[in-house]
Amino acid sequence: MKIVTNTLENIAGVGIYPVIGLLLFFTLFVVLIIFVMKLSKRDVEEYGRLPLSDGDEMSENKDDSLNL
Amino acid sequence: MELQKFTYDNRLSKMFLQATFFWGIVGTLVGLTIAFELIFPHMSAGISWLSFGRLRPLHTNAVVFAFVGNGMFTGMYYSTPRLLKTPMYSELLGRIHFWGWQLIILAAAITLPLGYTVSKEYAELEWPIDIAIAIVWVIFGINLIMTMVKRRTQHIYVAIWFYIATFVTVAVLHIVNSINIPVSFLKSYPVYAGVQDALVQWWYGHNAVAFFLTTPYLGLMYYFIPKAANRPVYSYKLSIIHFWALIFLYIWAGPHHLLYSALPDWAQALGTAFSVMLIAPSWGGMINGLLTLRGAWDKVRESPVLKMFVVAVTAYGMSTFEGPLLSLKSVNAISHFTDWTIAHVHIGALGWNGMLTFGMIYWLVPRLFNTQLYSKKMANAHFWLATSGMLFFAVPLYFAAFTQSLMWKEFTADGFLKYPNFIETVVQILPMYYLRATGGTLYVTGIILLIINVLKTMKMGTFVKTEDDQAPALKLHKDTGHRFIESKPVLFTTIALVVILIGGIVEFVPMFMVKSNVPTIAAVQPYTPLELEGRDIYVREGCYLCHSQMVRPFRSEVERYGDYSKAGEAVYDHPFQFGSKRTGPDLAREGVKSGKNYKPDSWHYNHFFNPQKMVAQSIMPPYPWIINNSLNTSLTAKKIRVMQTLGVPYPEGYAEKAVDDLKKQAATIAQGLRDGGIDVSDDKEVIALIAYIQRLGTDIYKDK
């Protein structure tokens, strides 16, 4: 394909791309796991409750009336 | 701390909700129609816009972008303000988004049956509609991000992260895959060709599944399951890992749609590896969703909403287990091009997306209309219809897939194909197609119950236009690490964008830069003008939906079709036509005179006119309009010029001579047909299509 291929004829050491990908991926995971482990329990509980504290007062009576 | 008062506006949610069930019934009814067309090929009655090839893209687009699309926006416009404790940034942008999206769907519903298509699955729409999609999508994104900026909560809940990933990734996918050069207002050619086009398309196609059908719905899952069960998500920590791992891994998996194809092996291996890894975050998400219901299973028995959520999340787990399985080359060798793919996507669409949408609707409507659900019995009936419909749809197709694939591969003791005639393998699985249509009928019946139930509920209650809430103003703490990122929506969006770009770049850059990835074959020449016009008819009629053009390097396929397909053969194919399903035989070597499948022009003429005349048990519909219509050559010169821009080596100034050459070639073919007793004039569309079909796969035999 002329438009793209011919302007980008060659690339040296293309094998490095997947290696970079793997390293990035691995680093991301390690950082994530460390971060998640360091989170305080109180904060995490508060975050998890966010959908339940949106002032949707009607929620309760809907559940009761419907027995959902 | 002083509390600020504000209101949530429910009107946008209501508009999208109504659009969801409207397009839900349209999309599934079109699906049901084409399921029956596969059993009764004459159902389309010779009407072009009712034929399978034209309606199938309408079905997929209507279900994906209209039904699921409107479903996700319903949930997003409901949950986003409530999770961020602020009204949406702009109601006006929301309305522009709504009407823009519906107009785009309407444009799709008109253009696709008329045959205006780029032929890239789930990206069939032509360039003006593509531009409209990009604009409307950005409007939606601005509204979403600005709402985050104006929020009152310190932490941004994980559902919103999934919405953001949806916005950025779909934008990137859509734009990259839709780069086309227009020939006219409703005709264009993609800039990519052959295997490169295939790679871009399936990078898009797979990630459309990931970021249109999965991430937004995971966001909805993380909001609506805790809401409906009235308990927080099982593990919030898991949801954080789930999010980043999922968006990082998904973007790499596209090449698993091209295993054993002419795509370079390294790209195939990359696709497989990441697809296998994907099971970890996918199942992390499923487990998180299901375990949220721990201690609430007694409620599940009672509540149709929770029941639907459970089936949805289970279907998500099933299809994300199946996905990595299908990405293994040994499994893919059997499953690819068969009905397994169809079964797999329907577990996802009917189970995961459908059930989650229905559950959300049953939960939302009583709340939006301040009343109770009209009939819980009806909702329960819907649940059973949908669940059994999904199973009746998918299970027979698994049998069909195994049966047909093994028949394709079976050899006799003497080393010949046991079923050399493709039609034998089709006849064998037809009963399964009947069962599939039954499953579809059950599912559609369920949706009809939903619509009646919802309309009655709406009538019983009064619409709650706005709801009041209050919260303290946002006071940002000095955070570090991930919490810092969470508190900066624009930065968060940018990081999500970078994460999803990495995979795409690693796959594309070598593919487009390294010449050896697409070895050129000297004998491969551009299509003649007549063949090019014929190819455009092939694309218009959606032939690629039932016929692949990719002979895989297996003994059984080489024996059946001829030499396996090479990357260099498709270098002038804008767009590629590899296909993804063989309802009929592969056509990659159809034109090779010494080949296994060669048929004379007259056979093709009669076959297009009435397939059953040539193959009595065929399930291909007739194409009388191709026989009767005159070929429009007004754009031929322009098409050649666009192809030249794309790098197809037609000689300088050839565009001006193209129509003359076209007429000459057409006259030869038509004369041949007339000599055989067929009354046909030179200028019919069928002549161009025959020219294209007879060209297929012949290039590499030229110098022999």
d(CA B482, CA B502) in angstroms, rounded, equals: 20
A18, A36, A59 member nearest B237 (Cβ): A36
The number of domains in chain A is: 1
Q: Taking residues B32-45, what's their average pLDDT?
A: 95
Query: Tens digits of per-residue pLDDT, B484-531?
Result: 777 788 888 888 888 888 877 877 776 676 666 677 788 899 999 999
Alpha helices in B617-653 (DSSP H): 624-628, 636-645
Amino acid at the residue B523: A
Instruction: List pLDDT tens digits, range B186-216.
Output: 999 999 999 889 989 999 999 988 999 999 9
- Residues 568-587, chain B, touching A (beta carbon < 8 A): 571
pLDDT in tens, B575-618: 999 999 999 999 999 999 998 889 999 999 999 999 999 999 99
Residues B503 and B588 in one domain: no
Whole-angstrom Cα distance, residue B167 to residue B211?
A: 8
Would B519 be classed as within a structural domain? Answer: no
pLDDT at A12 over 80: no
Cβ burial, residue A42 (10 Å; 0-12/13-18/19+): exposed
Whether A24 is in a domain gets the answer yes
Residue B193 Cα, gap to closest chain A Cα (Å): 7
pLDDT per residue over B243-279, tens digit each?
999 998 888 888 888 888 888 787 888 888 889 989 9
* Cα gap B302→B288, rounded to integer Å: 21
Return the structure tokens found at B525: 């020449």
- For residues B290 and B225, give the distance between their C-alpha atoms in angstroms, rounded to a whole number: 9
Task: Tell me what pLDDT residue A64 has.
Answer: 39
Whether A60 has a pLDDT exceeding 90, the answer reads no
Residues of chain B above pLDDT 70, percent: 97
Whole-angstrom distance, CA of residue B37 vs CA of residue B120: 22
| CB contact A27 to B (< 8 Å) | no
Same domain, B504 and B545: no
Q: For residue range A23-55, list pLDDT tens digits in order.
A: 877 888 898 888 888 888 888 888 888 888 765
Q: Looking at residue A5, what is its pLDDT?
A: 40
Q: Tell me whether residue A67 is in a domain.
A: no
ipTM of the complex: 0.75
Q: CATH number, domain at B406?
A: 1.20.210.10
The answer to whether residues B571 and B603 belong to one domain is yes
CATH number at residue B691: 1.10.760.10
B457 and B308 together in one domain: yes
Q: Are residues B71 and B148 in the same domain?
A: yes
- Give the pLDDT of residue A57: 44
Band the pLDDT of A11: cuts 50, 70, 90: low
Contact B55, B30 (CB under 8 A): yes
Residue B475 lies in a domain: no
Mark whether B410 and B458 lie in a shared domain. yes
pLDDT tens-digit readout, B350-396: 999 999 999 999 999 999 999 999 999 999 999 999 999 999 999 99
Is the minimum CB–CB distance between A44 and chain B shorter than 8 Å? Answer: yes
Residue B605 lies in a domain: yes
User: Is residue A26 in some structural domain?
Assistant: yes
All residues of chain A having their beta carbon less than 8 Å from the beta carbon of residue B159 are 51
**Would the CB atoms of B647 and A36 count as touching at under 8 Å?**
no
**Model confidence at B623, in pLDDT bands (50, 70, 90)?**
very high
Domain assignment of residue B497, yes or no: yes
Mean pLDDT of B305-320: 96
Contact of A36 with chain B, judged by CB distance below 8 Å, is answered with yes
Is there a single domain that holds both residue B500 and residue B535? no
> Distance (Å, rounded) from C-alpha B327 to C-alpha B411?
25
B568 and B434 in a common domain: no
Residues of A in contact with B192 (CB under 8 A): 1, 4
A20: in domain: yes
Residue A23: inside a domain, yes or no?
A: yes
Q: Which of B508, B539, B567 is the last residue of a domain?
A: B508
Give residue for tokens 């970078």.
B498
Domain match, B180 and B321 both = yes
Q: Are residues B237 and B378 in the same domain?
A: yes
What tens digit of pLDDT does each residue of B419-465 get?
A: 999 999 999 999 999 999 999 999 999 999 999 999 999 999 999 99
Domain-ending residue, one of B445, B473, B508: B508
In a domain, A4, yes or no: no
- Structural domain that includes position B635: 529-701
Q: How many domains does chain B have?
A: 2
Query: Does A28 fall in a domain?
Result: yes
pLDDT, residue B353, reads 97
pLDDT tops 70 at residue A68? no
Q: In terms of domains, do B557 and B497 share one?
A: no
Residue span of the structural domain in which A29 resides: 16-40
Q: What is the overall mean pLDDT for chain B? A: 93
Task: Kindly state whether residue B516 falls inside one of the protein's structural domains.
Answer: no
Average pLDDT score over residue span B54-61: 97
Same domain, residue pair B459 and B555: no
Query: For residue B223, what pLDDT is reported?
Result: 97
* Residue A25 within a domain: yes
Q: Flag whether B384 is in a domain.
A: yes
